[in-house]
Structures are given as structure tokens and as C-alpha cells.
Amino acid sequence: MNETALIEAILYLENEPLEEASLARISGLPKDAVARALEELTDHYAREGCGVELTRLNGGVMFTPRKEYWDVLKDRYGRKNEARLSRAAMETLSIIAYSQPITRSEIEAIRGVSTDSMIRLLIEKNFIHEVGRKDVPGKPVQFGTTKEFLKQFHLSSIADLPKLDESEAERFSWE
């Protein structure tokens, strides 16, 4: 049996990122064989002319359309929750992404307006979630981004967010 083809078939059938340990368990292959297969698949799909690529996403791997094709296809094949976000929602999401973990009052201090409806919307779309509570009086909820956020914006991790220059970074400070 071709181990690489088996891993490729599993990734094709899954719609969520899978960690190497999960791929090993599902396939019955040792972890080193899974790692080799993933290297081969990455090389194979990195070739010019392929419409998909093997993407590392938050510790897992999955097939995604190549970025240059996704821009053309996302209107038809994007998920329902990928509908365009309003400018206020994008601003709130940006603040959370760059400043996480962050509380509602800290977001409001940056935006200067109430964020209740924006936070509810972003939670409904599964772009943000509660990540804990801040160790201050009242123990306010802290928010952070989700795997769905990373998937939607084609990021492997938060570290892949565009870097901010000094003036942009000041906008994300509430202190």
C-alpha cells in the first residue's frame, strides 16, 4: 500500500485540520511514516499548476485551495459564516487578533464605543471565543481568536498576521 496516497485520501475526506498523531491513528501508520508522507504531499502540491495546497493550520494539516484560486472561488464555495463582516466587526476582530487575550472593556477603550453586538456576532461566526478570565477585580472574560478565524483568513497561526508599524501598533493599545 502506498502510505503517501493513504494520507492524501484521509486528508481529502476530512474537512478539519488533523495533527500528525491523529493521521497516524486513523491510518495505522507509524508517526515517522506519516511525517514522510506529509513531506512528499507538501512537495507534490507545491508544484505550479496545482489548485490545492497542503496547509499547516494550528498544529494540524489540511488541503486548502491555493490562495490565488481562493480569491476567485470564495464567493461560491465559502461557508455561510464567511459572509462579509462590517467595518465595525472587522475592526473589533482586528483588535482581538492583535491584542489577545483581551477583555470587552479593553476593546471598548480602543474603539471608543460599545462592542456588545460585535462580540456577539464574532462569537456566532466562531471567529472568537472566551479564553479565560483576567486576574483583576470582577474577573472579566478575555477573548481570543479561534481555529475558524485562522482558516477563514488563511493563517497557520497568529504569528502570520501582518506586522504592524509603530503608529498602527499604537491603535491597539488600551493603556
Instruction: State pLDDT tens for residues 52-65.
Output: 899 887 678 988 88
CATH of the domain at 132: 1.10.10.10
User: Is residue 63 within 8 Å of 15, Cβ to Cβ?
Assistant: no
pTM of the predicted model as reported, rounded to 2 decimal places: 0.58
Residues 12 and 92 in one domain: no
| Residue 103 bridge partners (DSSP) | 142
Domain with 125, as residue range(s), is 80-171
17 pLDDT more than 50: yes
pLDDT of residue 143: 97
Q: What percent of the chain has pLDDT over 90?
A: 43
Select from 28, 54, 77 the last residue of a domain: 77
| Number of helical (H) and strand (E) elements in the chain, helices listed first | 9, 5
Residues 85 and 132 in one domain: yes
Residues 59 and 44 in one domain: yes
Question: Where does the pLDDT of residue 121 fall: very low under 50, low under 70, confident under 90, or very high at 90 and above?
Answer: confident
Instruction: State pLDDT tens for residues 97-116.
Output: 999 999 999 999 988 888 88
Contacts of 121 (CB under 8 A, 6+ apart): 85, 89
| Furthest C-alpha separation in the chain | 60
Residues 100 and 62 in one domain: no
For the chain, what is the mean pLDDT?
Answer: 86
User: Is residue 35 within 8 Å of 5, Cβ to Cβ?
Assistant: no
Residues 84 and 46 in one domain: no
